[in-house]
Structures are given as structure tokens and as C-alpha cells.
Chains A and B, each alone.
Chain A
Amino acid sequence: MNLKPWIAIAAISLSGAAFAQDSSSLSVEGEALLTETAAPEHMENVDTIYSGWRFRSGETQALQTDDFDNPAMIFVDKGIDLWAKVDGTEGKSCSSCHEDVADFAGLRTTLPRVEDAGLVTMENLVNECRTERMGAEAWKYSKGNMTAMTALIGLQSRGMAMNVAIDGDAAPFWEKGKELYYTRVGQLDMSCSNCHEDNYGTMIRADHLSQGQINGFPTYRLKNAKLNSIHGRFKGCMKNIRATPFAEGGEEFKALELYLASRGEGLVVETPSVRN
């Protein structure tokens, strides 16, 4: 029996059924959020960038459109409590210095950024405040208190376009992040680009590959029913390709975060997003 025509037909029907991103448009609490825009100039292989929301199923998408239905808001509420909670030897809370968390509108869009010749993320800034100004212990990088706080602060920037600086001081970090993005690692010998650039929109077993945009972080994942930090997600990706993950909060992940943030330039902050 000649199987070849069948294989050819199967290949055609598979490519025809390639599950690209859908065409839904996102609006949260009545406010429209942009989920698709032209790729920034530095991206050589992609023309249009899409929010990860576009690759999720209808049910998952719906959860993000209403703040009451969004399970991440439970953690934002926790963040509000933490914001006002006095901690440490100085007897201060976040609100002692920063009166209104709304003052942080726009911060999420510009992080990570370079300070004193080093790259800092939002987690670093929160912990700097805690250890240096509050006299409190630093929070673990991806634990509940930290993600609740970064979700609360990130939420203030919802709807604002990502816009990180990648020139000047940031250039060497950005180059390092780009190199990491395209470097194959692990037993499966894969780089970020193999899935998120070459194959976004297709299925990897039961999962629908997105472009790996980070504009919705920290993100609530249905698989673990909690908020997940950007670096926590990187770690999960690296484990999946059977590589030894870099440390959360380490130089490698911070550089990668900067590079990914720049790949999402123009997409709006969706924090806190809902994903599977």
C-alpha cells in the first residue's frame, strides 16, 4: 500500500489547521486593551506581536475580562493589605513613604531598568525598600507576598504600553538577554526562540504556544492556582526543556527579562493576567 499521498494530505491538513492566535479583542472592565501590534524594529523574524491572551481558550480569556472573575484579584487584595502593613525595625509600611500606590502608574512598563550599573527588576526595588528603608527582611523572589505586591504595583500600569530602555547603559544587558534567548540549552537542546518565535500559534502536545510575551506578569495560572513571577515562569520553561534553570533574580534571568520586555514593546500591560 502506498502511504505517501496520505502523508502528504495529512501534512497539508495539519498546516491548514495550524492554530494561530484567535481574533478576539480584549476588554477589561469595559476598557479595551491592545493585544496585537507591529513588532519593534529590533525583532528580525517576527512582524506582529501578540499578547499571550490571544492564544488561550475562550473560557480562560473570559476570566480576565472582569476583575471580579479574575482569580488573580484575590492576590491583589492581599497586596493592598501588605501595602499598609507595618513591618521591620523602622516601623514603616509601604504607604508610610509612598502615599498612594496609584503613583506607580507606568512603572511596570519601564522595568527592568539600569541603576548603578546593574539591572534592577520590580522585585529588586521592592526588596531594596524593605531591607534599606523599612528594616525588614527581604521577601523571597517568587513567593506569595512578593507576587501579590508586584501584581498590585503592576496593576497601576494596566493599559499602558511596554517601553523599556535598551540603549545606552542597558545595551550590554540587552545583548546578553538576546544571546540567552537564541542559545540552545538542556537535554532537548532548545532555545526560547524554537518555541516562541519559530512555532508560536502551533500546539506543543496539549498546549498552545504563545510568543512568550511578559506584559501580563505576574500572571495567575490555572495549573497552580496562584500568581507566577516572570522568573518563575522562565524556570518552568527551562525545566520543560530539561535544562538546569538559572537562579530566580540572577543576572541571566534579569537580562532575559529585559530582552523579552523589549520584544513586547507596544503591547499594553495586562497585569494581573490569567493563563492556563
Chain B
Amino acid sequence: MASGVKPRVKVPKKASAGETITIKTLISHKMESGQRKDDDGNVIPRSIINRFTADFNGQNVIDVTLEPAISTNPYFQFEAVVPESGEFKFTWYDDDGSTYEEVKKIAVS
């Protein structure tokens, strides 16, 4: 697992049914592209988050493929329609096989 990885998510706690809400996510990650070399001229191995998904009550909302050119600490902001109360599950997939998860509940009135 890459060091210093910490996901952060901002989801409103409440919404009305059918409302479109804005979700902000950010994960601290160095996103090493695999193109750079260290002081001795050796290639620094690629280490990035390669996929990000968000699910609402098991249904997929967004599924993103990330490429090496994406900067450090990738930030995503997107909108989702919430039909009912439930929970969002956010998953980041690291090149080294580890996954980072964050769950946020939302109450719909």
C-alpha cells in the first residue's frame, strides 16, 4: 500500500427525494506516473489510483478510469440523483492491488 493515502468525501447528510446532489471526493495519493527517473537515472515505478467508483445502494453511479497523467491527490466532483435513503460507497483501486473504501449515509425525506 502506498503511504499517506487517505480518502475524503463530502456528501450532504440530508436531501429530498429525486434531488440532484453534488458529491465531492478527494484521495491523497502521490500518483507516480512511471515516467520519471530518480537521481541515479532509474525509472520510478508507476504507482497510481487506476479506477474510482461510486455506488448508491449497490447501484453504480460513476465508474472512472484514471490514467498516469492525472495529478497528485485526484479530486472528483459529480452529481447524483438520490431516490431514497441509503448509503454511498466510494472505492478507489490502487495499482498495487489495494482498495480504499469510504461509506457515507444520506437521509432522504
Q: What residues make up the interface of A, taking CB atoms closer than 8 Å to B? A: 68-69, 71, 74, 77-78, 225
Contacts and interface: CB of A to CB of B under 8 A. Distances in A.
Interface stretch (B3-11, B50-58, B80-88, B90-98): B3-11
Given A71-B73, A225-B71, A225-B72, A78 B4 contact: yes
Contacts of A68: 8, 10, 24, 26
- By DSSP majority rule, is chain B's interface helix, strand, loop, or mixed? strand
A71 B26 CA distance: 9
A77 B8 CA distance: 10
A74 B28 contact: yes
A78 B4 CA distance: 8
Nearest to B25: A68
B7 to A, nearest CB: 11
B36 to A, nearest CB: 14
Contacts of A225: 71-73
B24 A69 contact: yes
B6 A77 contact: yes
Contact of A74 (B10, B24, B71, B73): B73
A176 B75 CA distance: 44
Nearest to A69: B24
Interface string B4-35: 10101010000000000000101010000000
Contacts of A74: 6, 8, 26, 28, 73
16 contacts: A68-B8, A68-B10, A68-B24, A71-B73, A71-B75, A74-B6, A74-B8, A74-B26, A74-B73, A77-B6, A77-B8, A77-B28, A78-B4, A225-B71, A225-B72, A225-B73
A149 to B, nearest CB: 15
Nearest 5 Cβ contacts at the A-B interface? A68-B10, A74-B28, A225-B72, A68-B24, A74-B73
Contacts of B8: 68, 74, 77
A151 to B, nearest CB: 14
Contacts of B6: 74, 77
A191 B26 CA distance: 40
A77 B24 CA distance: 17
A78 B71 CA distance: 19
A78 B28 CA distance: 10
A71 B73 CA distance: 8
Contacts of A71: 73, 75
A74 B74 CA distance: 12
B44 to A, nearest CB: 16
Nearest to A225: B72
A68 B24 CA distance: 8
A190 to B, nearest CB: 32
A225 B71 CA distance: 9
